[in-house]
Amino acid sequence: MSQSRPAVEQISGVPLTTLSEDEQMFRASVREFAEGELRPRVAEMDEHAKFDPNLIRQCFDLGLMGIETPEEFGGAGASFFTAILAVEELSRVDASVGVFVDVQNTLVNNALIRWGNADQKKKYLPLLARERVGAYALSEAGSGSDAFAMQTRAVDKGDHYLINGQKLWITNGSEADIFVLFANVNPEAGYRGITAFIVEKGFDGFSVGKKENKLGIRASSTNELILEDCRVPNENVIGELGKGYKVSIETLNEGRIGIGAQMIGIARGALEAALAYTSERQQFGKPINQFQGVQFQLAEMATELEAARLMVYNAARMKDAGINFVKEAAMAKLYSSRAAEKISSLAIELYGGYGFVKDYPVEKFWRDSKIGAIYEGTSNMQLQTIAKLLIGK
């Protein structure tokens, strides 16, 4: 496989010497897939807001859907950092595919690897590594940033639970067969009644509702889930009853690094496009990248990307090293989402009128970047987390 380095690597990337040989080879293979198979499909998937099912099969075949999953369960047994590299490389071409792989690895698989019991791991992890898409169902219409205000209820019926409620904004909702879903088994206990369940698409009483028509990451499905006396067996409780709040918080802490990787991928794609265009676009008899004003803008974009990328990589390395990374993950998500929006916006301006039309890629990078300040914790929630950890409260 080709391991060629695009010019932008020399401008804005962490030097390849910071990656192991295996990480370099993995990143090169993901990039080859993204360029050869994904890029030709991006515009059509965005226009029709539909994920090409052939790409789903390819993501499984390449091992992208079980990167951290232990080899005994059919996964690659690689590091969290390796998953972050995959999300970045895919998002450089299409953030919809980036988040598709991200949710599978950093949220769904992660929750089962960390909190699932032996039987759950044996049953579900091989499926998620080989053929079944997963989704993470926490948000509701009335519980976004205040996730613990959820209204979905689970009632103990002896050998099973009956779950009733609605979930909203569920990424991978259209494609998923396996859901890590949260419901309250004891509303009187408040958030201490929240419990995590494994819910399969085929369970009685479960259905996938409306698919949202979104500004960005349009090929990524975002759906409502409807549970009407959904029957879930007792053995599908993840972790302890009433400890779902812990599962959700700690899983999302890792997921935020994944969103940071998505954002730096978007930023890289926008910067690469801007570098290419400004070297080709002629005005006043020379390429516009020969004008100092344009050079300064490109330099600002590259510097913002470098800072964001280092923050995301640092948080991922800390996670793998077993070091507390919560503050760093919040900082990485906050900063990278801002950087992606800024860099893609500047790319549009450098393209001029062409940047404002869908025939060119930069307007999509900007549309895709906006979600980074919203999902898996808004920017205000990241600021709150950072501030609390700084002052020790």
Active site residues: 376
DSSP notation for 26-66: HHHHHHHHIIIIIGGGHHHHHHHT---HHHHHHHHHTTTT-
Contact 8, 272 (CB under 8 A): yes
What is d(CA 393, CA 383) in angstroms, rounded to the nearest whole number? Answer: 13
Contact 311, 335 (CB under 8 A): yes
What is d(CA 46, CA 364) in angstroms, rounded to the nearest whole number? Answer: 9
* 232 Cβ contact list (under 8 Å, min separation 6): 154, 160, 161, 162, 163, 197, 198, 199, 203
Strand partners, 328: none
φ and ψ at residue 199, rounded to 5 degrees: -120, 130
Rg of the chain over Cα atoms, rounded to whole angstroms, equals 21
End-to-end CA distance of the chain: give it in Å, rounded. Answer: 50
